[in-house]
A and B are shown apart, each in its own frame.
Chain A
Amino acid sequence: QKEVEQDPGPLSVPEGAIVSLNCTYSNSAFQYFMWYRQYSRKGPELLMYTYSSGNKEDGRFTAQVDKSSKYISLFIRDSQPSDSATYLCAMSEYSSASKIIFGSGTRLSIRP
């Protein structure tokens, strides 16, 4: 069993929809939780970063961490075609840059 599980998709939704992306994990020692966005032929870029449990909101994006269920989510409100990308969840016991375990990514497509 992988330490981090993420549905690869692809997920296709109409413009303006609310998107929910999720990851589950098995290591209860994870404390740092991140979401990266990766456009085609580009490197991943950090979208959201959360330490320990709780919610974090940034514009149209909300990240949630439920450590009791070992489950993290990324919500995208009012989705735009420019949100079409692969979204990678990532987590670590130690820091936001070191010993990170990445999910395999969910490919998201927003239809105009």
Chain B
Amino acid sequence: EAQVTQNPRYLITVTGKKLTVTCSQNMNHEYMSWYRQDPGLGLRQIYYSMNVEVTDKGDVPEGYKVSRKEKRNFPLILESPSPNQTSLYFCASSLSKNSPLHFGNGTRLTVT
């Protein structure tokens, strides 16, 4: 089944403890992206990647890192999480930047 898989689905952590949210797609998509979804603010792009080893900042990149060493994987790294990064995170992929986005089912992160 074609899908975007995120792990974990739920994560509770403490301020300053490094964490990684994984994202994997099995559709051979070139384009991958991370979003956060907050009430009243909608989905906002954190980082995106046009292809392997090509990444760029979205609208809200502060406090996040990404890497794209393989085409299928696009992990989101929070080096020192803070409570304002408590949010619902979505990974998405598409065949190209002109193709529709396919979203994962989200990771709900709580930072205390």
Residues of A near any B CB (own CB < 8 A): 4, 6, 8, 34, 41-46, 49, 88, 90, 94-100, 102-105
Residues of B near any A CB (own CB < 8 A): 4, 31, 33, 39-45, 48, 90, 92, 94, 96-101, 103-106
Contacts of B101 in A (CB 8 A): 44, 46, 96-97, 100
Q: Given that A97-B33, A98-B31 are contacting pairs, would A45 and B98 also be in contact in the complex, using a CB cutoff of 8 Å?
A: no
Instruction: Tell me if B106 and A104 are in contact (CB < 8 A).
Output: no
- Distance between B8 CB and nearest chain A CB, rounded to angstroms: 14
CA distance A44 to B85 in the complex (A): 20
Contacts of B105 in A (CB 8 A): 41-43
Query: Residue A43 contacts which of B97, B98, B106 (CB distance < 8 angstroms)?
Result: B106
Can you name 17 extra interface pairs (CB under 8 A) apart from A97-B31, A102-B44? A6-B42, A41-B105, A43-B4, A43-B104, A43-B106, A44-B90, A90-B43, A96-B97, A96-B100, A97-B96, A97-B99, A99-B45, A100-B43, A102-B42, A102-B43, A104-B40, A104-B42
Contacts of A97 in B (CB 8 A): 31, 33, 92, 94, 96-101
Query: Residue B103 contacts which of A6, A34, A45 (CB distance < 8 angstroms)?
Result: A45
CA distance A110 to B98 in the complex (A): 33
| Least CB separation from B3: chain A residue | A43
- Distance between A2 CB and nearest chain B CB, rounded to angstroms: 9
Instruction: Tell me if B94 and A88 are in contact (CB < 8 A).
Output: no
Instruction: Tell me if B97 and A104 are in contact (CB < 8 A).
Output: no
